[in-house]
Amino acid sequence: MTDTKGKVVAVNGNMVSVEFDGKVSLNEVGYVKVGGQSLKGEVIRIRGNTAQMQIYEMTNGISTDCNVEFTGDLLSVEVGPGLLGQVYDGLQNPLPLLAEHSGYFLERGVYLSALDENTKWDFTPTAKEGDVVFAGDSVGTVPEGPFTHKIQVPYGFLGSYTVKKIAKAGSYKIHDTIATLVDEKGKSHNICMSFKWPVKRAVNCYAERLSPEEPMVTKVRLIDTFFPVAKGGTYCIPGPFGAGKTVLQHTTSRNADVDIVIVAACGERAGEVVETLKEFPELKDPRTGRSLMERTIIICNTSSMPVASREASVYTGVTLAEYYRQMGLNVLLLADSTSRWAQAMREMSGRLEEIPGEEAFPAYLESTIASFYERAGIVRLRDGNVGSVTIGGTVSPAGGNFEEPVTQATLKVVGAFHGLSRERSDARRYPSIDPLDSWSKYKSIISRNLVEYAREIYKRGAEVNQMMKVVGEEGTSLDDFILYLKSEFLDAVYMQQDSFDDVEGATGVDRQKYVFSKIISILGSSFKISEKEEARGFFNMLRQNFIDMNYKTFGSKDFYDAEKKIDGILAEKGASVDSDVKALLKDGE
């Protein structure tokens, strides 16, 4: 605590105005004293000697006779070994311990240590006396689950430091001194395995920021092939309620080609968060066969919690992601749902009496969302290793309206747009990503020409489908009808995917390339078909056999037997691949 004290002079919901005597900084943490409790808050605006604070608790009982103590510290998280597998609230309180302390209803004003202070970690030094180190450099390692956790020089250290003393290999607690560093002025600094870092300050202790180019394979065909995400990139998943965002997030978390997954439930409905808390420990990591929670962190702030905590949970998540990126790891941060965060900003902006923007959201909505997504990226560290933070944010626009401000502000800064469709989800076509409205700026695992050819077939088939709704099937030519059946075939056997099957739910890169080439050859083939009923029966049979093949293990005898059966069905109809499609397939090899 500092010597700066204050007194509450006004209360407006979860915002309090405090008159203070001394020095106060923006984003500084303070505690409001009420009824023997200390309620945590953050300074969000300063006017003269009056500070507005957003309180991260219910503000019942706060009145104008309440005192305030300022800490001198910015809103921060504690980083170090022991983060993986934890479930935190927006302020990094471990929720299981908080529940043990408070019971069924969480007690306000209770703040617990984010890391276990009694656990001993097996420390192995990597630096030696006399070494020169900088902020973010590793001085030693400890094992944490399946990873080697690097003990780093705190990010707030400026300039170079010389290692004066380093602990020997052994077991230490997180607050035991493991190294003594001397700065350029000759002052000594003791460091331990953990330190704190302000959540609203991006970590930039790296040598070079790289362009995200390598695909982050999710094993979801519709994403990897048509709307890919790059490691270190950004994407958003807007969609109406019930369109499948939660299942898509679970599938991505389990199968994405990343080391660590961080889920920030920033104001999602309590029921869905409970579902996440129950299902994540039961999800198996396909790499190890053990619980996915061993490489997952969940930050839980439901819609029933104070709105100010939604913002804290978003920044807590991205700060922890940047911390693990500094170890050369690939991290996926899933923020669900950023609409709730934006609504919290709107509520606080109204209480601050700021000039509102569109739909009463604050005028700085776009810049705030952009600054969050800009913390994603792939970087080269000083030791030559490369780490990445990929951010995927879901948006919950009212009524599925993608023209609303939060969705539009997000679309301006992300690299891929996975728009969920109510029409597709109602038709049980999952994942319900709309193939016509969605887009990506990143490189696919499949040749671009092949992807564009398939999208063109799908688009033209969708146009024929719309036309048939007006003129009927009778008013459609046989060629157009076959084009429509080809687009439906592509949708059914490749774009749709069963997330609940061990084989079909996760399609690897080799399988996607192999199967997609076969599909392209079918889309680009001519058939000996004379009438529509014949065409319908043929494509129905082809589709069902292809779906059956999707459930067979790639490379197995069953898989190739199913493929031979498909080849026989094609041969019966005299399938002949067009020459231009053959050229596309050859170029795409």
Is 245 one of the annotated binding-site residues?
yes
What confidence score (pLDDT) does residue 268 get? 65
Average pLDDT, the chain: 93
Distances (CA, A) of 431 to 183, 400, 484, 505, 565: 54, 16, 21, 11, 27
- 188-191 and 330-335 strand pairing: unpaired
Q: How big is the chain, counted in residues?
A: 589
Residue 227 contacts residue 433 (beta carbons within 8 Å): yes
Mean pLDDT on 2-17: 92
Mean pLDDT on 438-451: 96
pLDDT value at 108 more than 90: no
Residue 337 contacts residue 302 (beta carbons within 8 Å): no
Mean pLDDT on 446-457: 96
CA 104 – CA 44 distance, rounded (Å) = 31
pLDDT class of 57 with cuts at 50, 70, 90? confident
CA 345 – CA 334 distance, rounded (Å) = 19
Is 30 one of the annotated binding-site residues?
no
Is 241 one of the annotated binding-site residues?
yes
Alpha-carbon radius of gyration of the chain: 27
Please determine, looking at this structure, whether the domain spanning 448-587 carries the CATH number 1.10.1140.10.
Answer: yes
Question: pLDDT tens digits, residue range 342-382?
Answer: 998 999 999 999 999 999 999 999 999 999 999 999 999 99
Amino acid identity of residue 353, one-letter, is: E
CATH of segment(s) 121-193 = 2.40.50.100
pLDDT class of 103 with cuts at 50, 70, 90? confident
Amino acid identity of residue 39, one-letter, is: L
What confidence score (pLDDT) does residue 6 get? 94
Is 243 one of the annotated binding-site residues?
yes
pLDDT value at 543 more than 80: yes
Q: What residue segments make up the domains of the chain, in order of their start?
A: 5-74, 85-114+207-436, 121-193, 448-587
What confidence score (pLDDT) does residue 105 get? 73
Least confident of 145-159, 197-211, 217-231, 254-268: 254-268
- 260-266 and 330-335 strand pairing: parallel
Is 505 one of the annotated binding-site residues?
no
Question: pLDDT tens digits, residue range 174-184?
Answer: 999 999 999 99
Amino acid identity of residue 99, one-letter, is: A
What confidence score (pLDDT) does residue 271 get? 62
What confidence score (pLDDT) does residue 446 get? 96
Is 412 one of the annotated binding-site residues?
no
Classified as helix, coil or strand, 140 is strand
Is 516 one of the annotated binding-site residues?
no
- 50-55 and 37-47 strand pairing: antiparallel
Domain 85-114+207-436 falls in which CATH fold?
Rossmann fold (3.40.50)
Is 376 one of the annotated binding-site residues?
no
Q: Classify 5-74 by CATH class.
A: mainly beta
